[in-house]
Amino acid sequence: MKKIIAKKKILFIVLIASLITLPLLIVECGYRYGLHLFRELPSVQAYQPLPSIVTNGIWASFSEKAPPRVKPLMPWNILEDEVLGCDSPGAKITNYVSRRLLEIEGPSPRMLTWHLQEFSLTVWLSRNWPTERIIHEAGNQIVICREASSIDKLANKLFDKNSDALEAHEIALIMAAGKGGFVHAGESLQNQLLKRRNQILERMLKNGAISEGDYTTSRNQPITSLQQDLIECRN
């Protein structure tokens, strides 16, 4: 009788252990399969470090919390994020970079494969690329009017200066414009741009990247009509 109870106990423990490990195993397999689909994984190429204010502006535009540091992800972090609603630091910006890199891979596969590859690359990048490189890459892929440009190029175009000299409201405007199209119903482009820019500034303030005084000054900076013209897409 005791032997039967002991056997049942062992079976119960095995069952519980399987229930816990099976989802983790599936996620791990999915991650490995997703990586296997890449011809070549992106290597860390040499890059020019960005100034602190630019780094913080890019980081804040993805609603990431301070400090700018990407947490190396494990495949099962996706379960945490999805099921428990946890926000792994840096997961959003890394996901954005992984999608931009995935585009270089060629024609898009089915959406299931696309999401799997996107997830695998996000995890891989968070573990293999330094935070600065991820932020740098996000700053190299700012899309305005369906054209991807770097921070340097946009700093020149919109403010006639180098990215090293950008101020908080300027980097915030660049990142705001890179969000995408504008929904004009009932609101001017200027108002929409200001709203987006000021949301990023607010996040920078929360992150401690700018002081209260800088925030107030930056918020009051106007957006010129020339800048609006350069940002507005006519499709």
Smallest separation (angstroms) from another protein to the CB of 141 = 8
Q: Scan residues 191-210 and list those touching another protein (CB under 8 A).
A: 192, 196, 199
10 vs 22, beta carbon nearer another protein: 22
What does the per-residue mask of binding to another protein show for 132-161, with x meaning CB under 8 A? ----------xxx-xxx-------------
Place of tokens 């296997």: 36
Provide, for the chain, the percentages of residues in helix, strand and coil under a 3-state DSSP scheme, each rounded to the nearest 5: 65, 5, 35
Q: Rounded distance, CA 98 to CA 44, Å?
A: 13
Chain centroid offset of residue 32 CA: 22
112 vs 226, beta carbon nearer another protein: 112
Q: Scan residues 27-86 and list those touching another protein (CB under 8 A).
A: 61-63, 78, 81-83
Q: 144 pairs with which residues across the strands?
A: 147
Find the binder of another protein among 57, 89, 92, 133 (CB under 8 A).
92
Round to the nearest angstrom and report the end-to-end CA distance of the chain.
Answer: 78
Smallest separation (angstroms) from another protein to the CB of 14 = 28
Smallest separation (angstroms) from another protein to the CB of 155 = 17
163: Cβ–Cβ under 8 A, 6 or more apart, which residues? 50, 51, 54, 151, 152, 155
Cis? peptide before 67, omega within 30° of 0: yes
Find the binder of another protein among 7, 103, 127, 191 (CB under 8 A).
103
Q: Tell me the three state secondary structure of residue 47.
A: coil
Q: Interface with another protein by CB under 8 A: which residues?
A: 61-63, 78, 81-83, 91-92, 95-96, 99, 102-103, 108-115, 118-119, 122, 142-144, 146-148, 175, 178-186, 192, 196, 199, 233, 235
